[in-house]
Structure 1
Amino acid sequence: MMTFTTDLQTLLPQLSPWLSETEAAHALTYQHPARQQQYQGGRALLRQLVCETHGYAPEQVHIRRQPNGAPLLQIAGVSWFCSISHTANAVAVAASPTQPLGIDIEQLKPRRRQDAIIKQYQNGFFVDIGPNDLEGFYQRWTLAEAVTKLEQGLLLKTLRRDPSNYLKKAEFQHQDHCLTCLYRP
């Protein structure tokens, strides 16, 4: 299951009841207000998704940070698979009690060094993607990020791979100039 918002600033006040006191305090350790909002939005949206979908009470849902930075979701003492992504004013989350997953969300806008990235990884994830193919670039980029999050690996290694098997297991959604990719093996 996944959910996302491309209007975090508007949705954040509605999400605040889903944020723990510890998470609200931790968000303030981030220097930039946008990053504080992304952190709060990701945690609150993940908790809301799990509680409303599976009927858990908010106090049963604990989201911690693993040593590698990835979120660790525990519900009623049981570890779940989860993934959180954010960009600008958008946040995406996904969770599953049984299946590993990775999620990424990106704004569809020209990226600095986009042409160089496509050229560098044209024998990998960007095979058959032209320099002006913004949609194709972000489809592959979000997929590479989602795969890397699931594997808790390195993005540069993922970008060197053939994307064909990964594309078969990816779901993409567009909304408000953003692209979200959910990958489940």
Structure 2
Amino acid sequence: MRRANRLPDVTLRIVDRSAADELDLDGTAARLGAGGRRRLDEGSPADVRRFLVGRALITRTVSETFGVAESLVIVSARCADCGLEHGRPTVDIGGPTVAASVSHTTTSTAVAISSAPSIGIDLERLDPRRFAGVEGVVLSPAELRRWSALPGTDRLRALAEHWTMKEAIVKALGTGLRMDPATVELPQPTEVVPVEVVGRRFVLSRPELAPGLLTAVAVLVS
């Protein structure tokens, strides 16, 4: 499990799900509520492992960051649309506010933890198939014009960077992709930037957690 700290008051972790034996998956499963147990019953083996690794990684990271026992970290989620246990996680440690976010690729899981009001993380592999044709969905008209003017060799990475940053923002907002990403206008990408969306201010960063993966983290600051 790799660690990276690139923003104030933010803890980031990433793990390869095939090598996540250090995480307490059995204990995580035992602490699940009814919605979480339903996910275990109904999901495929790959989906179940991804879900458990995400929950266990949040639990471990919160425990280490805030100095509480893993057994006292309660992680849950409830989808605003269907009511099932997925979407933005909530964390209860019986004390300070804890914001958490989780993201998965086909092989890796990453989490972001903060005492900020809200946080979002997105993790993506730089795969042409993953981003084929999404420019018309994710980019605003101005961004699409700038993107179209780029050399062909630069377009994949630029599109993936915009996707990850916008995904992190809408996760921190709690809307997910119910909010049209094309309405989120980003500044020219830099290492750490402030951005305002629907009257909320975020600090946006693109830390490098692992080779071949793009990461974006959005921290709500006001």
Fold shared, TM-score > 0.5 on shorter chain: yes
TM range (shorter): 0.7 to 0.9
Q: Does residue 140 in structure 1 map to residue 162 in structure 2?
A: yes
After TM superposition, give the deviation of residue 14 of structure 1 in Å: 1.2
Return the letter of the residue paired with 1:21.
A
Structure 1 residue aligned with 2:19: 10
Structure 1 segments unaligned to the other structure (5+ residues): none
Please say if 1:65 is aligned against 2:77. Answer: yes
The CA distance in 2 between the partners of 1:125 and 1:40, in whole Å, is 37
Which of 125, 135, 140 does residue 118 from structure 1 map onto? Answer: 135
Distance in structure 2 (CA, Å) of the matches to 1:150 and 1:125? 21
TM-score by length of 2: 0.71
Equivalent of 1:34 in 43, 46, 71: 46
Whole-Å separation in 2 of the counterparts to 1:126 and 1:91: 30
Q: How large is the Cα RMSD of the aligned pairs?
A: 2.6
Q: Does structure 2 conserve the Cα–Cα contact (< 8 Å) formed by 1:2 and 1:94?
A: yes
1:114-167, CA deviations, whole angstroms, 9 ceiling, x for partnerless residues? 2x3214535155552246522111111111111111111253523222111886
> How many pairs does the alignment contain?
182
Question: Which AA in structure 1 matches 2:88?
Answer: A
Pairing 1:163–2:186 present: yes
The more displaced of 133-142 and 155-164 is 155-164
Is residue 19 of structure 1 aligned with residue 28 of structure 2? yes
| Aligned-partner Cα distance in 2 for 1:92–1:118 | 25
- Give the residue type in structure 1 aligned to 2:17: L
Q: Offset at 1:9?
A: 1.1
- The runs of 4+ residues in structure 1 deviating greater than 6 Å are none
Amino acid at match of 1:3: R
Stretches of structure 2 that go unaligned for 5 or more consecutive residues are 1-10, 81-86, 194-202
